[in-house]
Chain A
């Protein structure tokens, strides 16, 4: 831990903190409270959010960053992103509604497959799903649409997430398309509507129901998953089965899945028609064609992003040593093409070494050692580019609900 005086000397070492502020730089973290975003070189969370959050362990989980108790919203601390696979016990927890099943017995669980576009409605037990369908698995990032919402400037209301409303896991289960084929897909099928066992605390609250386009539902990699990293899904991550929609944001990955309906009409409940929407055309993500009945459009796949996990803003590195820049990068499914690192505030960039390719939907590790030659302050930045050609945003692409924050991180490192 750095002493107070070394912090002061760091500020002095900046020579002109005011000049940096004039460049529009985010505040540097001082004291580093739990889950500070400034500590990672971002705009800080709202002060109330930062004060309120603390580490707390839900049953079966490690201590995570508590955003809210009920419904439970818990964020993964940054240290668990130093491996490309996020441990189940550290995986983030996100619920919209407080009516969460306290426990679900796998033997009691069943999945209804129905809707106006299936030939034969089905009811399947977990045993049937396991035995009667071919197993399938995918390594994929599950990221909340609002991950990094708390870093928005100006702040927008909602769960004020820092960087950890995401995780990467090996998901194993069966293909949704195989289950739908068993029920028989009629022509004219438009969307697959998904419901989980959670509900509002009161009847009037709209149930959390989501839909995905039929072409996404029929992809090989869209799964009904029972396992995560070789173990049954943790309760808080959707036991006994959840949808896995690689590339698409977490809102579509319905937990405690109990109903799948193949429909010929668009699903227009609150969670589709009003929530999880973006100004149309603001991002170059895929369009959800059957949901364009309003001036805005639903969020779909993730934008390219990265996270440096090896540095803290304000960290000191002795002259003559190296500054280790390590982290992870991901996108909506094209795969990571390159991660570049800058130590001169974006004036020049050099390529980082990419880690093992775990698949196009997975976190991809990157690493680069920067020389710490001259005493003084450096601004370290990492910028991921996807195989689609998309690269991270230099400035926030503001949208009122606080989605798709992929602004390049700016970390201050002092060479002493």
Chain B
């Protein structure tokens, strides 16, 4: 609930035009950490890039966000975020 409110207010504050609150990620362990991504972009970037990246691919994406784009994501969150993304939005066998 708190997340939803945060998302909506963020959308309203930074980007009144976007209906991005309608973008909802799957409920699964690690989702709370993945929600840090909304600081810089809408979450549809995740669905859009599924389902073709394996865990190494998602890890590379998360590291790019941190190392290139300066995402303030703690190092210890990289693993659970990549796990969540690989499990829920990863390449299917």
Contacts and interface: CB of A to CB of B under 8 A. Distances in A.
Interface in A186-245: 200-206
Interface in A113-133: none
Given A71-B41, A98-B14, A206 B47 contact: no
Contact of A98 (B40, B44, B50, B89): B40
Interface string A42-70: 00001111011100101100000011111
Contact of B48 (A46, A71, A274): A46
Interface stretch (A153-161, A312-320, A352-360): A153-161
B69 to A, nearest CB: 5
Contact of B40 (A49, A72, A201): A201
Given A48-B47, A48-B51, A157 B57 contact: yes
Contact of A69 (B42, B50, B53, B70): B42
Nearest to B23: A69
Nearest to A99: B14
Interface string B37-71: 00111101101111111000100010000001111
Contacts, number: 91
Given A200-B40, A202-B39, A70 B14 contact: yes
A3 interface: no
Nearest to A60: B17
Contacts of A71: 41
Query: By DSSP majority rule, is chain B's interface helix, strand, loop, or mixed?
Result: loop
A306 to B, nearest CB: 26
A98 B14 CA distance: 8
A60 to B, nearest CB: 10
A53 B14 CA distance: 22
B49 A58 contact: no
Contacts of B35: none
Contacts of A66: 44
A345 interface: no
A94 to B, nearest CB: 14
Contact of B70 (A48, A56, A202): A202
A70 B42 contact: yes
A202 B50 contact: no
B48 to A, nearest CB: 4
Contacts of B4: none
Interface string A274-308: 10000000000000000000000000000000000
Contacts of B14: 70, 98, 201
22 contacts: A46-B50, A48-B89, A52-B48, A56-B19, A67-B48, A68-B41, A68-B44, A69-B23, A70-B14, A98-B15, A98-B40, A102-B16, A154-B52, A157-B49, A159-B48, A200-B70, A204-B72, A205-B69, A206-B68, A206-B69, A270-B68, A274-B68
Q: What are the 4 tightest A-B residue pairs by CB atom distance, in nearest-first order?
A: A204-B70, A48-B50, A69-B20, A52-B47
